[in-house]
Amino acid sequence: MNPMDSDKNSSIPGRRIASRLSSETSDNQTTPNFNGKKRDEIFRACEARDIHALASLCLSEGGLLQDDLRQAAWPILLGYDPNSNHLTGSEWTKMPVHDDEEQVKLDVDRSFVHYPNCQSEKELDGKKKQLSELITKILRKYPMLCYFQGYHDIAQVLLLVLGVEQASSALERISLFRIRDYMLPTLAPALKHLHLIPAIIHSSDRKLYRHLSGTKPFFALAATLTLYAHDIQEYSDIARLYDFILSHEPVVSIYLFAAVILSRKKELFEIPLDEPEMIHFTLSKLPHPIKLDGLISSTMELYSTHPPEKLPFRVWKKIPRSSVLKTSRDLSLQAIPKEAMELLEQQKRDIRRGSYGRRLCG
């Protein structure tokens, strides 16, 4: 096996702590002052910049609890200094216009549908202006990145949780090291990610796999493309889910969708095999309300029991070595943007050498 495809068990936070999930029961959540104790633990982990401790805390019920704690923890998980912002002031306005800015305007106009609540039109307009500038900054700084519809959903979460100043650095890191595969000239690399889902289902539940075998996994595209921000309607839920997603390697987000499918198997078995379009429709919508803590626990159990290297059908082998799924496995390694840009250029060369569907941007 190529070293870049290696397991790296000792350095991946999620793999090391997944076995401890069973001991983190909800009983502890009901003890007096539990949240106060957990807040202290989160602060201590942030002060020590202990990624493994933060990952463990993100797995426990409620995740990082509140936005003030997320403002301290997310920069550590994403690997940036919150006191250093390289695109401050109006510097970005002097950069060349990105080809996709018109689409950004259209999407921003449709933003903030579900949250925040109870804001006036003036306040919402202000948020939309901030969101538009946030996205435009990143696209102008990295003109080789292709915008996709739904990117604004991710940016919206970061803006609301972190505020204007921090959100820029966070979105930059997520774009380069978590969703880079989705910001290429074609969505074909993103579709490759989805083929991991049937393999995970096959490993966990053969009967359900057979029942779903007539349906392609494209039903998961909107959710995985936007790190679930497009589909989750409650602000507290998406903020809590991002605690989990940002504290684990990118492939765990794919395992999460498999866990969602497995949690709905009773409902899915009730749909006849000769109605694949109904199966697709059902799976293209996340359950509402969504029970996040249970799904997170199930996700980590799947990930621990059926790691990507051991999935059937050689699906992991088919993921290119330049993919974020393979280059961003170890959160403790602080990669730099230059490395991401080199990998992106390699990915573009790989695309040009093959047949990857229609182009989405230049």
| Share of residues in the chain with pLDDT > 90 (%) | 79
* Average pLDDT over all residues of the chain: 89
Asked if the model's pLDDT at residue 91 lies above 90, the reply is no
Asked if the model's pLDDT at residue 264 lies above 50, the reply is yes
Q: What is the mean pLDDT of residues 54-59?
A: 98
What is the C-alpha to C-alpha distance for residues 226 and 223, in angstroms, rounded to an integer?
Answer: 6
Q: What is the mean pLDDT of residues 292-321?
A: 97
What is the C-alpha to C-alpha distance for residues 200 and 277, in angstroms, rounded to an integer?
Answer: 21
Q: What is the reported pLDDT for 117?
A: 78
**How would you class 356 by CB atoms within 10 Å of its CB: exposed for 0-12, middle for 13-18, buried for 19 or more?**
middle
Q: What confidence category does residue 85 fall into, taking pLDDT thresholds of 50, 70 and 90?
A: low
Asked if the model's pLDDT at residue 159 lies above 50, the reply is yes
Instruction: Count the Cβ atoms, other than its own, within 10 Å of residue 272.
Output: 10
Q: What confidence category does residue 33 fall into, taking pLDDT thresholds of 50, 70 and 90?
A: low
Asked if the model's pLDDT at residue 29 lies above 80, the reply is no
* CATH number assigned to the domain with residue range 31-353, chosen from the 4 options 1.10.8.1310, 1.10.1060.10, 3.40.1160.10, 3.40.50.1970: 1.10.8.1310
What is the C-alpha to C-alpha distance for residues 163 and 28, in angstroms, rounded to an integer?
Answer: 32
Q: What is the reported pLDDT for 334?
A: 82
Asked if the model's pLDDT at residue 258 lies above 80, the reply is yes
Q: For residue range 162-203, list pLDDT tens digits in order.
A: 999 899 999 999 999 999 999 999 999 999 999 999 999 999
What is the C-alpha to C-alpha distance for residues 305 and 41, in angstroms, rounded to an integer?
Answer: 28
Q: What is the reported pLDDT for 116?
A: 86
Q: What is the reported pLDDT for 21?
A: 37
Pick the more confident residue, 8 or 180: 180
Pick the more confident residue, 38 or 17: 38
Asked if the model's pLDDT at residue 357 lies above 70, the reply is no
354 close to 320: Cβ distance less than 8 angstroms: no
Asked if the model's pLDDT at residue 17 lies above 70, the reply is no
Q: What is the mean pLDDT of residues 116-134?
A: 91
322 close to 342: Cβ distance less than 8 angstroms: no
Q: What is the mean pLDDT of residues 335-341?
A: 95
| Share of residues in the chain with pLDDT > 70 (%) | 87
Pick the more confident residue, 246 or 15: 246
Asked if the model's pLDDT at residue 14 lies above 80, the reply is no
Instruction: Kindly report the pTM of this predicted structure.
Output: 0.88
Q: What is the reported pLDDT for 12?
A: 44
